[in-house]
Chains A and B, each alone.
Chain A
Amino acid sequence: KSNHFLRNRLFQVFPGRNKFLCDGRIIMARQTGILYFTISLILITVALFFGFECRLTLVTHLPFGFFIPIVCGLLFLFNMGCLLRTAWSDPGIIPRASPEENAYLERCLQDENTHEYRPPPRTLDITINGAPIKLKYCFTCKIFRPPRASHCSMCDNCVENFDHHCPWVGNCVGRRNYRYFFLFVTSLTFLCLFIFGFSVTHIVLLSGLQGGFLEALKISPGRYPFTLLILICFFSIWSVVGLSGFHSYLVGRSLTTNEDIKGTWSKKRNRDNQNPFDQGGLWKNCCYVLCSPLPPSMINRRGFV
């Protein structure tokens, strides 16, 4: 144990393209620039809302106005928590096969077709709940990918239940952080609607007090930040509402973005195509995706090699 400080921890020799912070406690993708942009956009919007709308008019001129900053603050904290959890946690990376396991697999594949010398088949046919599925071999990780797993080209890892690689949160979205991602998107929708709604209320109130919309804008000390706020909210609302609607649909149907884009279970191609991961019913699917117990991270990032 005396030479622990000389030995490498797993995250220092980790084969994927990831970035580790805090001595391996935090895992992210290599490119995280857009994540900082996301965080600063949310921070600026909320700060402007607190600094101008809340302080100047809303709290004093509305009955129960003091609830507005409280609710906004709670929403903001929850939102940030979900965002950072999505960005900083392991999305469900499947560890690569050891050289021994790889050798065993190659031997098994060779045994199947001993008589002819040709490269072994790189798919495995299985059935899940009656639906036939092909497991593809991953040449980087040297494993047959579990169903629904996919290799992320950005991070160079196979990720369980791969949804998509999200540059906005600077991480893959997979089995272990999908629920955080979903809650982040939903809470961001509420935050956006909340701030947009009360910004409009603010200008309506101010117009009433000053006698006219333009007068209100001229007199208000927060006219520039206010315009910025309305613009940010107005443009982000559409994408965020659309995204949360899309993901609610996916959660209800127990699909992943990856499957939806590829149309794996689409009825258009094949009438009998049935999603074998459907738990039976909207409510059950929601529970399954958002509340089912999650395994701990499969890669022991801080363990010694």
Chain B
Amino acid sequence: MLNWTKCLSSCFKLGKSCEHKNAGFRPNTVRPKLGFWICYNAQSMQAADDLLVKKRIYIQRDYSNGMAVRFQTRFPNELDGKISPEAFAHTISVLNEKYQEAEQMSCSTYCESCMACLTGYLLLMCIDTHYKKVLKSISKYIDDQNNTVYWPKRILIKDPFESGLRSIEIVIFDDN
């Protein structure tokens, strides 16, 4: 019974947030109404999945060294007893290093920018930039870590790029 009401309330919340998002928006093309309902149902199914989620925590950015992408390495209390602080610190520091590599000025990125500029930025339509390549390797690394370290403990780390590199979302699931 409790689950059912919870599910209902979360569906309601999601539906409301969806409406809110649509409020100030005039769609460019008129889509069939059916599409909206299917999307709505998909969302409520997702809400049912959410019941298994025990907690979500968000690791914030660390701006002390400037605007470069860095995340705080402080161990969150919620993960206590679930995973060792060393493993967690290792993951975050590897991520930080990779982001630093992505943003660093080097000869190759300099050449890339200059070549792109000389071709009137048409080059960017043909090649993947250095930044994009590193981002791909980061999402691969996160998948890998999730598979080997975190998912066995029922924890998932989400790619921070999805939230605009503002925070790392860590989802803790119910054990049973």
A: which residues have CB within 8 A of B?
3, 6-8, 12-15, 17, 19-20, 77-78, 81-82, 85, 94-95, 97-101, 104-105, 126-129, 133, 143, 146-148, 156, 161, 179-180, 183, 276-277, 287-288, 290-296, 298-299, 305
Contact = CB atoms under 8 A, between A and B. Distances in A.
A248 B167 CA distance: 33
B27 A105 contact: no
B39 A298 contact: no
Given A8-B35, A12-B29, A127 B64 contact: yes
Given A101-B169, A277-B67, A305-B39, A13 B22 contact: yes
B100 to A, nearest CB: 11
A271 B102 CA distance: 35
A12 B28 contact: yes
B11 to A, nearest CB: 13
B34 A6 contact: yes
A292 B120 contact: no
B110 A291 contact: yes
B137 interface: no
Contact of A296 (B17, B39, B109, B132): B132
A296 B102 CA distance: 11
Interface stretch (B86-94, B147-155, B157-165): B157-165
Contacts of B64: 126-129
B38 A104 contact: no
B166 A146 contact: yes
A104 B29 CA distance: 35
Contacts of B110: 287, 291
Nearest to A156: B24
Contact of A12 (B27, B117, B164): B27
Contact of A3 (B13, B38, B65, B112): B38
Interface in B27-52: 27-29, 31-32, 34-36, 38-39, 42
A15 B25 contact: yes
Contact of B38 (A7, A15, A82, A105): A7
A194 B25 CA distance: 44
A121 to B, nearest CB: 16
